[in-house]
Structure 1
Amino acid sequence: MGSVGYDFIVVDEEHAPFNRETTDQIILACRAVGIAAIVRVQSGAPEAILSALDCGADGVLVPHVTDAESARAIVAAGRYHTGKRGFAPTTRVGDFGRKSQAEHMETEDNRVTLIAMIEDPEAVENIDEILAIDGHDGVFIGRGDLGAAYAGQDGVREHVRSATERVHATALRAGRPVAILPWES
């Protein structure tokens, strides 16, 4: 991926059969070719976020962020100064103990990207409060999961399109980037 010019890749721990060792190897390969590695963690559990960040992920995509509380939990798990991220400077990302505690914490808080995945109708309804939480860097609109959530209702495509437009407009007003996969609707 690095040889063809990608800026980053997404390591999908949520749906693909990757474990911590596999993720660690992929992140190391990304570092070798100078591209960023974003890990789509299995859940918003602090240990899932910490595992990816300790391996050196440049960011995490956190699935099923549905409200302000879950958005706050992402920030707490992924940031030192505004959160409760576990401290382990002896990892690769901590330069195996060569960085001071202050340097490691400052570098990580500035380096890491935290992205909330908006993929549930509840999240769409709560998008204003999700985006009001400081410390996460943007949102990813998961239209596939939104489509599955609206399945069985009339006008699934219209529901997904409307949800996408609402999240996108709200994120733009909040000054937050939006990521989305291309999809023909």
Structure 2
Amino acid sequence: MLIIAACSGGSESSDRLEVGQAETSVDGSQKLPLLSLWQSGMPAFGVFVPSDRPMRASDGQFQTPVYSAEGGASLAANPLLDYVFLNLESAWDLDAVSAIREGLDSAERDSEKALLVRIPPISKDGEQAARERVHAALEAGADGVVMPHVRSEEEARLAVSFFEEVNANVWSPKNPDGTVLAMMMIEDPGALKQVVEIADVPGYSVLACGIGSLSRALGDREAGEAGNQDVLAQAKRVGLPDMITANDQDVVRRIEEGFLGLLMSGPDADEHIAVGRAAAGR
């Protein structure tokens, strides 16, 4: 499901968009299952999209991830998943977005999974590069884009503007009929100090804490967890879902705390999700 009006008339992607928007505006039937869950206050479960090859080569050297339509199709067939999280923060790869989208759209899919794509932070390659990546990811079929390391209220507003520039219909508390996800991540001490102001920025969908990055920046896990809870409190205050990485040891606690996006990884992800779904009554 493409959800952006970045292309002019006549392209396949823009044709798909117009149909989806029209049906959504009439009866909401095109709303992603993920959004329906969150709108009803229910937790949703997803996984990091795994690379088709191991992270490390036989000699221990890091290998650039490889993503394929076949990998996307495998995820599409998994009935436990509500969304998939394609992490391109360290290595931007537009072809990966297209490949996973193709796989998720396969005829064998169990249900429609939302494709969330994390791009490199604005601070890495600058405003224009981040803008182009948001636009390109959405045009390639991402259902949402994740903005990591948002450093300030000003940068959050800038990130929101990237979606506005292409008339993306962003789902938010003020726009419950939206179909596009925009997610902001607080991962730095300076941003944590502005968490109230960042939470109050209108026009985005999910507010989350990158607890690993924040813990490293603050010097210990306890401080990172305290910051994580601050972000959760602000997300709840403004009615935004919060997403957190989890496993079978902490997913029940995270659900009880009020996290609505539970993100798993690794070969045991399905087992961890099953624990979470049982706790959530799903």
TM interval, shorter chain, is 0.7 to 0.9
State the shift of 1:112 in Å: 0.9
The aligned amino acid for 1:169 is A
The aligned amino acid for 1:31 is D
- List alignment gaps of at least 5 residues for structure 1: 86-104
What TM-score does the superposition give when structure 2 sets the normalisation length?
0.52
Residue 8 of structure 1 is matched in structure 2 by 83
8 Å contact from structure 1 (residues 9, 35) kept in 2: yes
State the shift of 1:43 in Å: 2.4
* 1:4-153 superposed matches below 5 A: 4-5=78-79, 6-15=81-90, 17=91, 19-32=93-106, 33=109, 34-44=112-122, 45-79=130-164, 84-85=165-166, 105=167, 110-151=178-219
Change (3 A) 1:108 1:67: closer
8 Å contact from structure 1 (residues 2, 35) kept in 2: yes
State the shift of 1:31 in Å: 2.5
Kindly report the root-mean-square deviation, in angstroms, between the aligned alpha carbons of the 2 structures. 2.0
State the shift of 1:137 in Å: 0.8
8 Å contact from structure 1 (residues 39, 52) kept in 2: yes
8 Å contact from structure 2 (residues 115, 143) kept in 1: yes
Does residue 253 of structure 2 align to residue 178 of structure 1? Answer: no
What TM-score does the superposition give when structure 1 sets the normalisation length?
0.77
- Flag as ranges the 4+ runs of structure 1 deviating above 4 A: 105-109
Structure whose residues are more often helix by fraction: 1
8 Å contact from structure 2 (residues 208, 244) kept in 1: yes
8 Å contact from structure 1 (residues 74, 136) kept in 2: no
Whole-Å Cα distance in 2 between the matches of residues 168 and 106 of structure 1? 25
Q: Deviations over 1:107-131 (max 9, x none)?
A: 6772110000111111111011111
Larger Rg, first or second structure (1 or 2): 2
Residue 159 of structure 1 is matched in structure 2 by 223
Q: How many residues align?
A: 157
- List alignment gaps of at least 5 residues for structure 2: 1-74, 123-129, 172-177, 251-282
Whole-Å Cα distance in 2 between the matches of residues 107 and 48 of structure 1? 17
Q: Between the two proteins, what is the percent identity of the paired residues? A: 29
